[in-house]
Amino acid sequence: MNKHYPYRNQQAEIPPDLNGLQPFIEILDYLITKAISSLQSREKTNTELQSSNFQPTEIPPETTSIQIREDSLLAWLQTTFNLSTFDLYILTIALTPELDKQNEQIYVYLQDDIKHKRPTVDLVFSLLCSSIPEKISRRKHFYSNAPLINHKLLHLSSEATLLSQHLILDSQIIRLLLNQNDLDFRLVSCCQLLEFTSNYEFTDNLYLQEDVQNKLQVLVKEQWQKQQPLLLYFQGSNGTGKCRTAKSIAQNLEISLLIADLAKFLEDKTNFDNKLQTLFREAWFFHRLLYIDNFDILYLQENKIYYQSFIKQLENNHSITILAGIENWIPTATDIKGVITIPFTIPESEQRQKCWINQLKAAEINLENKELEIISNRFRLNPEQIADAVATANNTARLQFKNQFKNQNGNNLFSHLCNAARAQSGHDLGNLASKIEPKYTWNDIILPKNQLTQLQDICKEAEYQNLVHQQWGFAEKLSLGKGLNVLFSGSPGTGKTMAAEVIAHNLQLDLYKIDLSQIVSKYIGDTEKNLNRIFTAAQNSNAILLFDEADAIFGKRSEVQDARDRYANIEVGYLLQKMEEYEGIAILTTNARSNMDEAFERRLRFIIEFPLPDKNQRHLIWQKIFPKNAPCNPDLDFEFLAQNFEITGANIRNIALSAAFLAADDGGTIEMVHLIRAIRREYQKMGQILRDKDLGDYLGLR
C-alpha cells in the first residue's frame, strides 16, 4: 500500500479540485470549446472538411506542465501506475461523460456520429495532438503494455481500427475519483460489503483466547497505520468465529469489511482472473479490510490452475487481507512468504458452558447445573450453533405444547435442548456414513454382568471426560489418546451393534455406521483420504463412529513381500495415528478379534467380548423381544425355547418378527405354532438342520 495514499475518510465529499482533476478539466474545456468553434466556423462558411472534423487546437504552452496537488487521488494514481501527463488527459477525457451527461452530446457533435457518445481514440488525438506525426507517436499510450491499458484502468472497445475504439474508463477508477463507495457491480454476486458502523458492538465473546485476540488486533492496527500489506490465514471449521473476528478487526480499524466467497468466484471460471483483480483492487482503492472465505477450495485438484492465479494476485497484495479455510495452510515454493496462520477451534467446555448460560438466560430458560454441565461437555458446538440450538428447542416446545419453554418440566426441557444440539452436528458425516437412530436402552440389552458394567463405564468416561482431561489437567499429560476408542468382539448377532445404540441413546449422541466397503480402495492413497474425511467430519459432528467388521481395515500388518503388502501396512499405521488423534467416541466391532493388529489393541480404552447368550439370557431375550402391544398367547413356552435352541439374540429377534407376520396372516395372535415355523425358517437360513428331538412336545406343529 502506497504510504501517500490520500483516500482515508469514506464519507468524504469531493474536494473543490475534483481529486486533482480540475486543471485537466479546465484545459479540456478550453480544447473542446476551440474545437466546437472551429466546426461552427466551417459550417457557416461551408468549407469542406479535411482529414478531421475540426482542426486540432494546440494546448497553450503555459498549461502543458500542470502542477497536481500532491495529496490528491490523481497524483496517487499517477505515481502508483506510472502515468504520464498525456495519460492523465486521456483519463480525463474518458471521465467527462460521467461528470455531465451533456458531454455525451458534445462528443457526438465533435465526432459527427450519433453512435459515438463516448470519446474515441481518434477524438483524443484530435483534441491533444497538433500534427499527424504526433498522433502516430501517441498511439503507444493505447498499446497493451501501456500503463492505462496494462493495469486495466482504461478499456477499449473492440472496433476494427484503433482510432475507432471507444475509451471506457474502469468503473473502479470512476468510483474512486468521484468518491462513490458502493460495491463494484462485478462483485455483487460473490461479495458482501459491511459498512463501518460506529455504534455497533459485539455482545458475544470472540472465539479466540483473549490474549491471542488482543495481539491480533494490535498487529493489524500497526500494519494498517504503517500502510503495509499483511496476510492472515484464519484456519478452522465453519462456525468457529473466523468471519466474526474479521468483523471485529474492521470495527477496530473503523473501516468497512469486504467479504468474498471464493466458491462463488469459481462458478464463473472464465472470468476468474479479472474478478479476482477487481476484488483485490476494490479493497486497496477503497481502504476495506478484505476477508476471503473458502480459500481451501483451491486445494482441489480441479482448481490447481486457479490456485496459481490466486497466489500470483496475492504476491502483489497491497493491503491487509484475511484468508479463511478449513484445511491447514499449505506452503509451497510458489506461495508468498510471511503468512500468519491463526487457528480457530471449537471452544473448550468451560467456554461452551458460558455460551449456553448466556443463550439460555436470554431465552429465560433455567437448567440444572448438572444438566448444563452435561450438555456443554457432550456437544462440541460453537457459539453460533449453541444459539441456534436454544432457539430451535424453544420453538419446538412452543409448537408441541403451545406454551412457553420455561414452563415445561425439566426432563422435557433438557430433552429438547439435546435434540436441538444433536441436530446442529452430523451434517458433514451424512455423505460418508449411515446414520442409525438409536432405539435400544439399558432395558433392552441382555448381557453378562461384567460386559454390562463395562458398557456403563464407557458412558461414565464420556460423561466425565471434560472433568478429568480439562479440570483435573490430564489433557496436559496426553498429546494423543484423548478420545474414547473401544472394541466390541464376538460372533454375529451377540449384541455388538445393539450395545453401540444403547451407548448412543444414553449419551443422546448421533450414531454413524461407517461403510468400510466405501473406505477401502485399491488405489494407493485413497483409503487414507477417505478415512481422513471421516475423522475430520466426525470431529466436528459430536457423533459416535461405528466401524463394523473393523478387522477388514484394522487387521494385522503382514510381512512385506511386495509393494502392496508395504502399502497395506502403511494404511494400518495411518489408521492407528488417526484413531489416537480422534477425541470423540469410536466403536469398532469384529467377529474375529484374533485378526486385529496388536498395536491397535493397545490404543483402545475398552475391549469387550460379547459371548453367545446362555440359557438364562436367552430366556430373558425371549421375554423382552415382543413389544407390549404384540398379541402374544400367554402360554408361549419361553422356557422351552431358551432350553432347546442355542441361538443368538439376533436370531431370536428374526424369529419373533417372522412369527408376528405369520400370526397376522393367521388370526392375529402369536402362538407357539408360529414360533416353531419361524424357527424352522431361521435354521434353514443359517444352513443348519433342525432335529425332531429339538422340538420335543412341539414336533407336530407346522
Predicted confidence (pLDDT) per residue in 223-278, tens digit: 998 888 899 999 987 778 899 899 999 999 999 999 999 999 999 888 899 999 99
Contacts of 266 by beta carbon, 8 Å cutoff, 6+ apart: 272, 297, 303, 306
State which of 93-97, 364-368, 542-546 shows the largest mean pLDDT: 93-97
Contacts of 220 by beta carbon, 8 Å cutoff, 6+ apart: 230, 232, 249, 252, 253, 320
Question: SS3 for 82?
Answer: coil
What is the structure's pLDDT at 104?
A: 87
Residue 601 confidence class, pLDDT cut points 50, 70, 90:
confident
Asked if 56 and 129 touch (Cβ cutoff 8 Å), the reply is yes
Look up residue 569 and give its three cell numbers. Answer: 501396512
Mean pLDDT for the stretch of residues 54-66: 55
Residue 83 CB burial class (10 angstroms; 0-12, 13-18, ≥19)? buried
What is the structure's pLDDT at 619?
A: 93
What is the structure's pLDDT at 617?
A: 92
What is the structure's pLDDT at 29?
A: 85
Specify the range with the lowest mean pLDDT, choosing from 68-77, 146-155, 184-193, 520-529.
Answer: 520-529
Q: Which residues pair with 289 in a beta bridge?
A: 257
Residue 578 confidence class, pLDDT cut points 50, 70, 90:
confident
- Reference 694, options 680, 678, 674; nearest CA is 680
Mean pLDDT for the stretch of residues 428-440: 79
Residue 661 confidence class, pLDDT cut points 50, 70, 90:
very high
What is the structure's pLDDT at 613?
A: 92
Contacts of 526 by beta carbon, 8 Å cutoff, 6+ apart: none
pLDDT tens per residue, range 69-96: 888 889 999 999 999 999 999 999 999 9
Question: SS3 for 45?
Answer: helix
pLDDT tens per residue, range 498-511: 999 999 999 888 88
Percent of the chain with pLDDT over 90: 36
Number of neighbouring beta carbons within 10 Å of residue 698? 16
What is the structure's pLDDT at 112?
A: 85
Mean pLDDT for the stretch of residues 516-521: 67
Asked if 4 and 283 touch (Cβ cutoff 8 Å), the reply is no
Residues in the chain: 702
Task: Characterize the bridge pairing of strands 585-590 and 543-547.
Answer: parallel
What is the structure's pLDDT at 525?
A: 64
Mean pLDDT for the stretch of residues 97-126: 89
Between 626 and 383, the more confident residue is 626
pLDDT tens per residue, range 410-429: 557 788 888 888 887 666 67
Mean pLDDT for the stretch of residues 571-576: 66
Question: SS3 for 151?
Answer: coil
Asked if 335 and 375 touch (Cβ cutoff 8 Å), the reply is no
In angstroms, the CA 488 to CA 642 distance is: 24
Q: Is the pLDDT at 280 greater than 90, yes or no?
A: yes
What is the structure's pLDDT at 61?
A: 45
Residue 454 confidence class, pLDDT cut points 50, 70, 90:
very high
Q: Is the pLDDT at 407 greater than 50, yes or no?
A: no
Q: Is the pLDDT at 373 greater than 90, yes or no?
A: no
What is the structure's pLDDT at 428?
A: 65
Long-range contacts formed by 549-552: CB under 8 A, 24+ apart: 549/516, 549/589, 549/590, 549/591, 550/487, 550/516, 550/588, 550/589, 550/590, 550/596, 551/590, 551/591, 551/592, 551/593, 551/595, 551/596, 552/516, 552/520
Residue 44 confidence class, pLDDT cut points 50, 70, 90:
low
Mean pLDDT for the stretch of residues 160-174: 93
How distant is the alpha carbon of residue 174 from its chain centre?
Answer: 35
Q: Is the pLDDT at 485 greater than 50, yes or no?
A: yes
Q: Is the pLDDT at 569 greater than 50, yes or no?
A: yes
pLDDT tens per residue, range 297-338: 998 888 889 998 898 888 888 889 999 998 888 777 566 778
In angstroms, the CA 97 to CA 25 distance is: 12
Grid cell 458460558 in the structure block, residue: 354
What is the structure's pLDDT at 393?
A: 86
What does the CA dihedral 147, 150, 153, 157 come to, rounded to 10 degrees? Answer: 120
pLDDT tens per residue, range 171-204: 999 999 998 889 999 999 999 999 887 665 555 5
pLDDT tens per residue, range 385-397: 888 888 888 888 7
Q: Which residues pair with 231 in a beta bridge?
A: 321
Q: Which residues pair with 632 in a beta bridge?
A: 670
What is the structure's pLDDT at 359?
A: 87
Residue 63 confidence class, pLDDT cut points 50, 70, 90:
very low
What does the CA dihedral 357, 503, 510, 483 come to, rounded to 10 degrees? Answer: 70
What is the structure's pLDDT at 347?
A: 77
- Mean pLDDT, the chain, whole residue set: 82
Mean pLDDT for the stretch of residues 586-593: 84
Question: SS3 for 511?
Answer: strand
pLDDT tens per residue, range 663-687: 998 888 999 999 999 999 999 988 8
Specify the range with the lowest mean pLDDT, choosing from 30-39, 40-49, 304-313.
Answer: 40-49
In angstroms, the CA 381 to CA 346 distance is: 7
